[in-house]
Amino acid sequence: MQFLRRCSTITLERNVSLRRVIQVAATIKDVARATGLSIATISKYLNGGNVLENNKKLIEEAIVKLDFKVNQMARGLKTSHTQTVGILIPNLENIFCTSIISNIENILLQEGYSTIICDFKEDAGLETEKFEFLITKMVDGIVLMPLFSTAARINEAVAKGVPVVLIDRLIKGADCDVVLVDNLNASYQAVEQLIVLGHKRIGIVVGPKSIYTAQERLKGYLRVHEDYNLEVKEELIQYGDYDVQSGYDRFNQLLAGENPPTAVFVTNYEMTLGAVIAMNERNLKLPEELSFIGFDNLELARVVKPALSVVVQPMAQIGEIAAQLLLKRLREDLAGFPAMYRLKSDLLLKESVRQFSD
């Protein structure tokens, strides 16, 4: 008998030691033992229920001491809430995307939400795959910058109780909230400034024809030409891919013609960088030889001499509004649903533009 007790003691000591060595995660039972409270009370607190203030204090102290972590997936199976939000974007290398993500994450973190960030690399199949991945991970909501997503896919997720907020791009027929920049007027104002300065041959580098933002920025370019009774020259419109190389190539294409533009407007951060690389290689002098307006690239605008004129999108505001809208829907507040925000951009005119005279 004494031998058995001794063996039990040794086994218990080994189990405790083993637990310390392999750092087994604390469980809800451990929290209950440490506090003297029932598992039901602990569970109620962890799931957002009201408990006595003294019990709340005991639980929080035990959680810190035991380094207790809530299993969000297991919790989600019971409560239908995992405190996670999916963010799906075309390209993690895109500064516009990452700036918005940073602001979304900051707000969600303050509200106790974790994020799963997915990059679908501008691939239609991957966009579908990653969207379904987020659904299977039981995220509570999704923030999506779409390229190929359909209204049907969005509406199906919303019908399952997963709110979706679209950013930067609109999908017709999608029953969800949207946060956009007024791209049409952003482009209109930039090109209008060049027209007011006397330019009549104004080149533009826009994104792919299939992308909503590119369509809207081109509309602004075309509309301001119409309003000022200026003929649109097809050779002055170049379509890029929203990357550095396409900005470089399309800018060079604009200047390769027999009658090149006197001013150029580039409508994306990365393509602006590509255009500046091309300028440097050509030893092009701004604004004496060409007036130039870029997009979003504030850091580059400050570094380059002379300082570049740029259209600046409210990236922080896009992220903040998208996060707040999603949190509102997660609280089951459907006021104003579906909401659409069109945010204004700023045009910062610097030394890269000048009055043109024939």
The ranges assigned to domains in the chain are 2-70, 78-181+315-343, 183-313
Pick the CATH number of 183-313 from 3.40.50.10490, 3.40.50.2300, 3.55.40.20, 3.40.50.300: 3.40.50.2300
Domains 78-181+315-343 and 183-313 are alike in CATH topology: yes
177 beta partners: 165
Q: Any alpha helices (H) in 137-182, and if so which ranges?
A: 151-159
C-alpha to C-alpha distance for 222 and 157, rounded to whole angstroms: 37
- On the question of a cis peptide bond just before residue 306, with omega within 30 degrees of 0, the verdict is yes
pLDDT of residue 95: 87
Indicate the Cα dihedral angle 73, 77, 78, 83, nearest 10°: 40
What is the dotted CATH code of the domain comprising 2-70?
1.10.260.40
Please name the residues in contact with 261: beta carbons below 8 A apart, sequence gap of 6 or more: 199, 201, 202, 203, 236, 254, 255, 290
pLDDT of residue 43: 74
Instruction: Give the helix/strand (H/E) hosting 149.
Output: none
* Intervals of the chain under pLDDT 70: 1-24, 47-49, 70-80
Q: Any alpha helices (H) in the chain, and if so which ranges?
A: 2-22, 28-35, 39-46, 53-66, 72-79, 95-110, 124-136, 151-159, 183-196, 212-227, 244-255, 269-282, 298-303, 315-330
pLDDT of residue 10: 37
Q: Which amino acid is located at 270 in the chain? A: E
pLDDT of residue 7: 38
CATH superfamily label, 78-181+315-343? Response regulator (3.40.50.2300)
